[in-house]
């Protein structure tokens, strides 16, 4: 096992740890870790490899949420189907962008997500209505539009998009938080798989690094989940700290991308 393998395991462990600790957001770090820590030279390969890891990790977490009854399948499937079309379009467009420009835009997205995390307030009870013939006329257009938009962003940047999908589901279908989190994993799995397939067909996935990244993520996720149970009362503080880290990494990615393009 060489230094790249160890860096892949360690980076995957960090992403999994964050996911287990605060329940989302860790995948936004995957691309910067793959580029700046693991040393993946081409940003497009980092994005394709990240998409594989994100999809597999989301599927592993989905199983537990589905068993607990936290997935609202009709809403999740409609949202995911629309998002898969958006992810296919987004990934096709992303592959056409200059790699350094893509990293620059990715850093800007990280800053936006960090700001959204810091400003986000705990929501109150929502008036959820299941997707049915009676509600389809109202819910379907919102689910399709939101799913397509979020999927396009997910495909373009190669991220899971959980922090975009959860509020998207809550806004479109008035899902309670726990149901939105569980249902979002259907979409994260689908979006990641669509993006990964698009990049894999273009030969832009490093499968060895992806496997090591996922393996590290599983171990890190267990550790993060254990710690989350002990620090449950400080979840809001942990989220704020993580948002600060995302903002710092995003600023670094923007600076590196800008220097590479115009320095």
pLDDT, tens digit, 9 for 90 and up, residues 124-170: 545 677 788 888 898 999 999 999 999 999 999 888 777 778 878 88
The residues near 32 (Cβ < 8 Å, ≥ 6 apart) are 106, 110, 249, 252, 253
Question: Would the pLDDT of 178 be above 90?
Answer: no
pLDDT at position 127, please?
66
pLDDT at position 80, please?
96
Gap between the terminal Cα atoms of the chain: 36
* Nearest CA-CA partner of 62 in 48, 77, 49: 77
> Is residue 65 within 8 Å of residue 31, measured between CB atoms?
no
Distance CA 1, CA 34 (A): 17
> Is residue 90 within 8 Å of residue 224, measured between CB atoms?
no
User: What does the pLDDT look like over 218-238, one tens digit per residue?
Assistant: 888 888 778 877 876 776 787
More confident residue, 173 or 121: 173
The pair phi, psi for residue 92, each rounded to 5°, is: -65, -40
The residues near 45 (Cβ < 8 Å, ≥ 6 apart) are 199, 204, 205, 206
| Confidence (pTM) | 0.84
Categorize the per-residue pLDDT at 33 as very low, low, confident or very high, splitting at 50, 70 and 90.
very high
Question: Would the pLDDT of 123 be above 80?
Answer: no
Give buried/exposed letters for 78-101 (b at 16+ CB in 10 A, else e): bbbbbbbbbbbbbbeebbeeebbe
């Amino acid at each position: 096992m060489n230094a790249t393998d160890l860096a892949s395991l360690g980076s995957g462990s960090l992403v999994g740890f964050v996911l287990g600790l605060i329940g989302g957001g860790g995948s936004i770090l995957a691309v910067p870790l793959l580029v700046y820590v693991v040393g993946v030279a081409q940003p497009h390969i980092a994005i394709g490899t990240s998409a594989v890891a994100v999809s597999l990790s989301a599927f592993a977490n989905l199983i537990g949420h589905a068993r607990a009854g936290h997935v609202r399948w009709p809403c999740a499937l409609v949202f995911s189907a629309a998002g898969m079309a958006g992810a296919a379009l987004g990934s096709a467009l992303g592959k056409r962008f200059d790699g350094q420009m893509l990293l620059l835009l990715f850093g800007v997205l990280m800053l936006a997500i960090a700001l959204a995390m810091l400003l986000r307030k705990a929501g109150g009870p929502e008036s959820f209505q299941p997707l049915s013939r009676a509600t389809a006329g109202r819910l379907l257009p919102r689910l399709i539009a939101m799913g397509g938009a979020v999927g396009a962003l997910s495909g373009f940047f190669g991220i899971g998009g959980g922090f975009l999908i959860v509020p998207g589901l809550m806004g479109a279908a008035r899902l309670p938080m726990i149901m939105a989190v569980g249902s979002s994993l259907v979409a994260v799995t689908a979006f990641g798989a669509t993006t990964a397939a698009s990049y894999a067909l273009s030969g832009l996935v490093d499968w060895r690094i992806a496997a090591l990244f996922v393996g590290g993520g599983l171990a890190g996720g267990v550790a993060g989940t254990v710690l989350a149970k002990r620090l449950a009362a400080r979840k809001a503080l942990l989220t704020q700290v993580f948002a600060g880290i995302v903002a710092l990494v995003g600023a670094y990615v923007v600076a590196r991308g800008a220097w590479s393009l115009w320095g």
